[in-house]
């Protein structure tokens, strides 16, 4: 009887709203597909770009594919709280109506990051000679990469599974001199922290949650894969990492400034985040111009925060029906961020999406949630009918979000209100799942390739 009632409700909705086209605009998925498996599943996946120089496996740091299980896995509520804090911090210094293009400056320090606890995806690379493997989180919201290094006095560095990186054991390691051009650039980008021992260039990254890491700006050989190295890779060798727990060995910055891995390696950078944490994705570096299989949209920038890349939405479709939204609803642009979980949409666009999605999911009971407004109790359902959501960007690039894991997270719609129209939103990592997202800074465009992992 319950199944019959469910069919009546959904079929009526399809017929009235979409003239019977629901079979192409809705997807029936088993509820088991919402949850990751307990063991790592699926073969290693790679970028299909023939001209990509290197592709590394990328995994969720709290999933079974991770090199080791992180002891500090946050609750769903904590994950949402941290993600919201990251959105608030990223967008706090962006002038209204200037999120995509423009020359207005924002008065916030460039070195101030967000909570590193929000970062979820890791890769394994090697530092030094001989090469020492290190598991590091990736972040499109950071430029300067860093490791936790020896020497570090007790209580001044966080616990990690692997030994601290020891520069004295690497024959290719060197500290950066204070008067050098790289140190001057570090100062210009607001990551510098004076001189250590009178001659070594110091670095400091302070995060919005009160954590920080500082030490010596350094260079060494970075090995991405066998035979693929970056000689004289610049990074921070941290000797004081306060209250940053459970982050493996360090961080790889994928931002747009010269300190980032993407800039130092050359070429475009891309990644594919898996649908669930029990499957692998990849990080690819060095792609040439115009790789095949992508839809491209112009890349904008955030005034006063040059680390970030933005895109501009042009339309949203829910269950086959395009929402009636004016271009002004998307004027602020969207930061493409690997570290934010939930997508933050400007108010008018968010409210229209929320209303359409709730109508399409009317057959399922809603439940309250302290952090998200549209959550469902799907217990007792073997299968769930979910409306497709498509995001169209300027230039016509359209992505159909993965169903269900690019739309729902823990039974909740993975969108939130980011603020007034004209402010900047954030494209979160749930919506990015299974797409290869490519940042081609030299051509000022962002690409999306569907079903990449």
Residue ranges in 367-439 assigned as alpha helix (H) = 429-432
Q: Quote the CA–CA distance of 146 and 98 in Å, as a whole number.
A: 31
Q: What is the largest CA-CA distance in the chain?
A: 79
Based on the residue annotation, tell me whether 139 is a catalytic residue of this protein.
yes
Nearest to 51 by CA among 399, 390, 393, 291: 291
Contact 318, 357 (CB under 8 A): yes
Q: Quote the CA–CA distance of 100 and 93 in Å, as a whole number.
A: 13
Contact 200, 177 (CB under 8 A): yes
Contacts (Cβ under 8 Å, ≥6 apart) of 149:
164, 165, 166, 167, 215, 216, 218, 237, 238, 239
Q: Quote the CA–CA distance of 315 and 327 in Å, as a whole number.
A: 8
Catalytic residue among 209, 214, 220, 337: 337
Token pair belonging to 247: 């982050």
Contacts (Cβ under 8 Å, ≥6 apart) of 16:
none
Contact 349, 440 (CB under 8 A): no
Q: Quote the CA–CA distance of 445 and 312 in Å, as a whole number.
A: 11
CA 419 to chain CA centroid, nearest Å: 20
Contact 419, 58 (CB under 8 A): no
List active site positions.
139, 337
């Amino acid at each position: 009887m319950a199944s019959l009632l469910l069919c009546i409700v959904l079929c009526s909705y399809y017929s009235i709203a979409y003239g019977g086209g629901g079979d192409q605009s809705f997807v029936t998925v088993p509820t088991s597909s919402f949850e990751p498996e307990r063991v790592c599943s699926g073969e290693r996946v790679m970028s299909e770009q023939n001209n990509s120089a290197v592709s590394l496996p990328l995994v969720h740091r709290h999933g079974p594919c991770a090199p080791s299980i992180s002891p500090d896995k946050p609750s769903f509520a904590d994950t949402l709280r941290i993600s919201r804090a990251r959105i608030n911090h990223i967008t706090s210094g962006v002038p209204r109506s200037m999120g995509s293009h423009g020359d207005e400056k924002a008065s916030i320090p460039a070195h101030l990051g967000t909570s590193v606890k929000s970062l979820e995806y890791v890769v394994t690379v090697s530092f030094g000679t001989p090469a020492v493997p290190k598991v590091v989180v990736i972040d499109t919201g950071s430029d300067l990469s860093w490791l936790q290094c020896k020497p570090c006095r007790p209580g001044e560095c966080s616990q990690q599974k692997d030994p601290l990186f020891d520069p004295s054991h690497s024959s290719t390691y060197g500290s950066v001199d204070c008067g050098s051009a790289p140190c001057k650039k570090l100062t210009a980008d607001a990551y510098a922290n004076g001189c250590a021992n009178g001659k070594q260039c110091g670095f400091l990254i302070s995060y919005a949650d009160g954590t920080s890491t500082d030490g010596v700006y350094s260079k060494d050989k970075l090995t991405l894969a066998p035979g693929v190295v970056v000689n004289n890779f610049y990074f921070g060798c941290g000797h004081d990492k306060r209250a940053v727990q459970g982050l493996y060995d360090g961080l790889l910055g994928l931002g747009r400034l010269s300190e980032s891995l993407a800039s130092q390696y050359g070429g475009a950078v891309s990644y594919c985040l898996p649908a669930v944490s029990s499957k692998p994705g990849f990080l690819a570096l060095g792609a040439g111009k115009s790789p095949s299989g992508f839809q491209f949209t112009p890349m904008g920038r955030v005034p006063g925060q040059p680390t970030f890349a933005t895109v501009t939405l042009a339309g949203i479709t829910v269950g086959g029906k395009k929402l009636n939204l004016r271009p002004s609803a998307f004027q602020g642009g969207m930061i493409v961020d690997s570290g934010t979980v939930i997508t933050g949409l400007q108010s008018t666009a968010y409210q229209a999406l929320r209303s359409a999605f709730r109508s399409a999911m009317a057959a399922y009971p809603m439940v309250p949630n302290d952090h998200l407004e549209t959550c469902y109790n799907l217990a007792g359902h073997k299968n769930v009918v979910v409306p497709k959501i498509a995001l169209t960007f300027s230039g016509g690039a359209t992505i159909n979000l993965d169903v269900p894991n690019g739309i729902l997270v823990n039974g909740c719609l993975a969108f939130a209100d980011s603020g007034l129209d004209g402010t900047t939103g954030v494209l979160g990592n749930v919506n990015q799942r299974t797409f290869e997202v490519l940042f081609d800074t030299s051509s000022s465009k962002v690409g999306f390739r569907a079903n990449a992992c």
